[in-house]
Structure 1
Amino acid sequence: MMWTKLTIDTTVEAVDLISAFLDEKGVEGVMIEDHVPLTEEDKAAMFVDIPLVDGVDDGTAKVSCYIDDSFNIETLRADIAAELTRLEAFIPVGSKNITLSNTEDKDWMNNWKQFFHPIRLYDDIVIKPTWETVEDAKPDDIVIEIDPGIAFGTGSHETTKLCIGQLKKYLKPGDMVFDVGCGSGILSMIASRLGAGFVHGMDIDELAVRASEENAKLNHMGEDKIKFSCGNLLADNYIGKGTTFQLDRSTIKETQHLDVDRQYDIVVANILADVIVPLSAVIGPYLKDDGYFITSGILDVKENDVTDAMKANGFEVIDVVHMNDWVSVIGRKK
């Protein structure tokens, strides 16, 4: 099917009224582009770790929507033009230009698969999609099969590579590992294959947890070795539903002694610096003394923020590794 993209050049002031008009006409969704700067509250909520490009707010905006063949495009276009003329008597509506373009209805949920091929890391670790075979397999390879679906993580990003390298360096056979922000479960599964006695992966996204569980099954890993749960340590200070690991529901600000049922030799968190910084204040009770806090997902410009936070929360920074613009910081619990 071919879709028609309809774009209206207008003003920020008129965006809401135009969006409401399109909704009345049966359009099920709109995309708005403008130059209105994000507030500090917006930026904090987004956990953005990539520098934002600030444009000049000139008051202009674009409202776009995608129309299928159930609409009469020319009739809709004429109706929009008439509505813009009516609104112009009350508010600025901009140039009122309406442009049309066609886009093919592709299988976006699956087309990305053509770009995901087996990845070899550190010579003996292979991450492969379920639909590919490993052509250069070696007898001692650790092979992880994965179907990422809509969960983040295929193993190709520098941050994942950094965490894998640190797990190879610090994980000892039998260690207990806590993977905070497990995504598709890659780090949890690799930790298990590297010899961890037990791995607990956690994510705030239920879909990510579901994907991790399915990927563990693909790799024949049972719940006696690896388990996933949904929870948000920063929001609730507890590990969420679907798990037997429960904490005192008091917040970290109210008590310094949490009733933690299980402590780990290693906590690994491949997230963002702006999450790792507050996480370092609550993760200590989950670690055994001298346990390792392996972190990545950190842009080099945020390295000092993370190391300072670790030091302020009872960790000795013992290792910092760079890969292009990304950094892995490892702390040891004192």
Structure 2
Amino acid sequence: MAIKDWYKLTFQIESDAEEIIIWKLNELGIFSFSFEYFIKTENKKEVNIWLPIDEWDESSRSDFEKIINKLLNINDSKDQFFCWSIIKEEDWLTSWKKYWAPEFVGNNFLILPCWINLNEKYKDKQIIKIDPGAAFGTGSHPSTYLCLEKMENILFSDKKVLDIGSGSGILSIAARLLGAKEVYAVDNDYLAINSTNSNFQLNFGNLNNLNTYLGSFNEVFFKYQLKKFDFVLCNILAEVIKEMIPNIYKCLRNNGKVVFSGILNSQKDEIIKILIQNNLKLLDVSSKKDWACISAQKASNPI
């Protein structure tokens, strides 16, 4: 495999701009990024974006800066807003590891970066080993926390589960740890599918009971006739979720349940309205920081 060097772009944003940045990066097909929280200034975050050097010339980088400026309503002449640096492939693959540490989620989950040895005192936890790469996190985002906390209280034993937007595969792994019989993972990024497969193998030593599909959920739903799921897990952006809800309803079995995360508190009422319009009964809403997690159920006899 050819060695690839990277541009690293760094800039600061207000915390409430995180969701719009994620949306725009996904729209542009950029998936290698991270958000760093400033402890002393909780309302500020540092954005780090990695772009392959051979795909981003000076003109492309300038155009990208203009897109971000427009998105954040920043004056083009503002000095030192964007900081560009060059990262060698070997540095890119290792330097970010210093930011990750074992993380506890809920009462039972421990997310363990695969290069860290497990402390004996945590062996009673549900261990999720993750090798995230720079494109996918270890589950630290509030929306992932909310989803995992919700999953702890669900009986997955012998159930059929669909994970939409699988990313690193963290929710697929959690579902399998909790007893799911079959896990189906969908993502529109081949790097995510590779990551899901790799991390599943890391945790279970095989890919038994895991089915992965590359493409958008709506495309995959029609192509493979996905149906009769007991649970659907969907941790992606609200704007994307809205378009999926009708087909999520169709792929659930009667009384099947869905957990949505990746939704800002300001967006939850609109999502709930669409759920009700599609005969999905609201079960619960929880929140963490600015994010909401919504669970709903397909009624056996919709009105």
Q: Which TM-score applies when normalising by structure 1?
A: 0.65
2:66 corresponds to which residue?
34
Cα distance change of structure 1 residues 198 and 65 upon mapping to structure 2, 3 Å threshold = closer
Residue type of the alignment partner of 1:211? S
Contact kept in structure 2, 1:273 and 1:305, CA below 8 Å = no
1:189 corresponds to which residue?
173
2:265 corresponds to which residue?
300
| Deviation by residue 1:262-286 (Cα, 9 ceiling, x = unmatched) | 4111000000110111111211121
Residue type of the alignment partner of 2:72? V
Q: Secondary structure at the match of 2:242?
A: helix
Q: Secondary structure at the match of 1:169?
A: coil
Distance in 1, matches of 2:107 and 2:281, equals 30
2:253 corresponds to which residue?
288
Is 2:196 aligned against 1:177? no
Q: Which TM-score applies when normalising by structure 2?
A: 0.71
1:120 corresponds to which residue?
104
Distance in 2, matches of 1:57 and 1:103, equals 23
Report the aligned-residue RMSD: 3.2
2:285 corresponds to which residue?
320
2:13 corresponds to which residue?
none
Cα distance change of structure 1 residues 234 and 225 upon mapping to structure 2, 3 Å threshold = closer
1:270 corresponds to which residue?
235
- How far apart are residue 115 of structure 1 and its match? 0.8
1:128-139 paired onto structure 2 within 5 Å: 128-135=112-119, 137-139=121-123
Distance in 1, matches of 2:157 and 2:185, equals 18
Residue type of the alignment partner of 1:29? D
Cα distance change of structure 1 residues 139 and 314 upon mapping to structure 2, 3 Å threshold = same
Greater C-alpha Rg = 1
2:216 corresponds to which residue?
232
Is 2:39 aligned against 1:53? no
Q: Secondary structure at the match of 1:137?
A: helix
Distance in 1, matches of 2:56 and 2:261, equals 39
Is 2:222 aligned against 1:279? no
What is the aligned counterpart of 2:199 among 215, 240, 256?
A: 215
Distance in 2, matches of 1:307 and 1:150, equals 33
Residue type of the alignment partner of 2:102? P
Q: Secondary structure at the match of 2:152?
A: helix
- How far apart are residue 234 of structure 1 and its match? 3.1
5+ residue gaps, structure 1, are 6-25, 39-51, 67-101, 240-245, 248-259
1:14 corresponds to which residue?
none
Cα distance change of structure 1 residues 65 and 149 upon mapping to structure 2, 3 Å threshold = closer
Cα distance change of structure 1 residues 216 and 27 upon mapping to structure 2, 3 Å threshold = closer
Contact kept in structure 2, 1:164 and 1:187, CA below 8 Å = yes
Contact kept in structure 1, 2:101 and 2:112, CA below 8 Å = yes
Cα distance change of structure 1 residues 237 and 288 upon mapping to structure 2, 3 Å threshold = closer
Contact kept in structure 2, 1:36 and 1:57, CA below 8 Å = no
1:206 corresponds to which residue?
190
- How far apart are residue 117 of structure 1 and its match? 1.1
Q: Secondary structure at the match of 1:311?
A: helix
1:9 corresponds to which residue?
none
User: Which segment is superposed worse, 266-275 or 103-112?
Assistant: 103-112
Count how many residue pairs are aligned between Structure 1 and Structure 2: 242
Is 2:131 aligned against 1:147? yes
Which has more helix, going by share of residues? 2
Contact kept in structure 2, 1:232 and 1:238, CA below 8 Å = no
- How far apart are residue 65 of structure 1 and its match? 11
Contact kept in structure 2, 1:34 and 1:61, CA below 8 Å = no
1:70-89 paired onto structure 2 within 5 Å: none
5+ residue gaps, structure 2, are 1-5, 9-53
Structure 1 outlier segments of 4+, above 6 Å: none
Residue type of the alignment partner of 2:161? V
Contact kept in structure 1, 2:106 and 2:152, CA below 8 Å = no
Cα distance change of structure 1 residues 35 and 179 upon mapping to structure 2, 3 Å threshold = closer
Cα distance change of structure 1 residues 313 and 191 upon mapping to structure 2, 3 Å threshold = same
